[in-house]
């Protein structure tokens, strides 16, 4: 079992690289998608966010107003930390569950696309770790072009994350996405050979930690189901 870590900065190109993995039948668990589920109307995360930020944070349809919450937390490190702590248990259990489901389906190479892989200490059970790097100006230009957000909001979002140079220094593999999509694709083909080839001893040891975590999350899922089943019967 190999859980490849894919990270980088906001708008550095992780989703673009994820698509390339998927086109080679390597499944990707996207932490942003899991985080969105964790905030869906009626979920545990949704209830905690309302308790913390008030009903003003909701849209008329009852869903969280994500741009509004984003503007608040990306401009205020304390509120961001608070939101991170609030949602972390839902996001990490959601990610483990997605990995476990793919493992049960028979996949043995899985990519975890997690923007905050290092910040959330999820790097511990992914190997090898790929960082998609771009220079800061290209990053902000692509972010503003994609999201149509204000430059201030864009820069707040970039500054809310560990710098891309720091992430680069922690990577096993760096993809430099400053160039064209063709350049990216060319680098990706080499990365694909590297990450699907034999593991080094160090990578092998790290991949065993990943398996232990999956087994732990599967067994805790079974225990929770058994408890729910018993409490329904009594």
Please work out the total of residues on this chain that contact ligand COD, with binding judged by CB under 6 A: 22
* 161 contributes a contact to ligand COD by CB under 6 A: yes
Q: Spell out the long-range contacts of 222-226 with Cβ–Cβ below 8 A and sequence spacing 24 or more.
A: none
The CA distance from 210 to 204, in Å, is: 10
Binding partner selected for residue 87 from ligand ATP, ligand COD, none, CB under the kind-specific 5 to 8 Å limit: ligand COD
What's the min distance (Å) between Cβ of 205 and ligand ATP?
29
* 50 contributes a contact to ligand COD by CB under 6 A: no
Binding partner selected for residue 16 from ligand ATP, ligand COD, none, CB under the kind-specific 5 to 8 Å limit: ligand ATP
Binding partner selected for residue 70 from ligand COD, ligand ATP, none, CB under the kind-specific 5 to 8 Å limit: ligand COD
The CA distance from 119 to 126, in Å, is: 14
138-160: b (≥16 Cβ within 10 Å) or e? bbbebbbeeeebeeebbbbbbeb
For residues 174 and 6, is the Cβ–Cβ distance under 8 A?
Answer: no
Interface ranges with ligand ATP (CB under 6 A): 8, 10-16, 32, 115, 142, 146, 177, 180-181, 184
If the CB atoms of residues 79 and 221 are measured against ligand COD, the closer one turns out to be 79
The token pair that represents 66 in the structure block: 């994500």
* 39 contributes a contact to ligand COD by CB under 6 A: yes
Torsion angle, CA of 19/136/162/76, rounded to 10 degrees?
-110
The CA distance from 33 to 170, in Å, is: 24
Binding partner selected for residue 175 from ligand ATP, ligand COD, none, CB under the kind-specific 5 to 8 Å limit: none
The residue ranges that bind ligand COD (CB under 6 A) are 10, 31-32, 35, 39, 66-67, 69-70, 73, 80, 83-84, 87, 91, 114-116, 120, 157, 160-161
């Amino acid at each position: 079992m190999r859980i490849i870590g894919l990270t980088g900065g906001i708008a550095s190109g992780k989703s673009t690289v994820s698509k390339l993995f998927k086109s080679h039948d390597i499944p990707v668990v996207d932490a942003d998608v899991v985080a969105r589920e964790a905030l869906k109307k009626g979920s545990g995360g949704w209830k905690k966010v309302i308790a913390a930020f008030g009903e003003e944070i909701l849209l008329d349809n009852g869903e969280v107003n994500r741009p509004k919450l984003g503007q608040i937390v990306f401009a205020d490190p304390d509120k961001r930390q608070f939101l991170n702590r609030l949602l972390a248990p839902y996001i990490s259990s959601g990610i483990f569950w997605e990995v476990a489901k793919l493992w049960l389906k028979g996949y043995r190479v899985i990519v975890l696309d997690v923007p905050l892989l290092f910040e959330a200490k999820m790097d511990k059970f992914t190997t090898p770790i790929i960082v998609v790097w771009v220079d800061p100006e290209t990053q902000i230009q692509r972010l503003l072009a994609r999201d149509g957000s204000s430059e201030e909001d864009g820069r707040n979002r970039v500054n809310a994350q560990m710098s891309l140079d720091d992430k680069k220094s922690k990577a096993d593999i760096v993809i430099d996405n400053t160039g064209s999509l063709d350049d990216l694709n060319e680098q990706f083909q080499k990365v694909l050979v590297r990450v699907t080839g034999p593991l080094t001893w160090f990578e092998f040891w790290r991949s065993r930690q990943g398996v232990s975590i999956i087994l732990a999350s599967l067994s805790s899922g079974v225990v929770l189901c058994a408890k729910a089943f018993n409490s329904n019967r009594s």
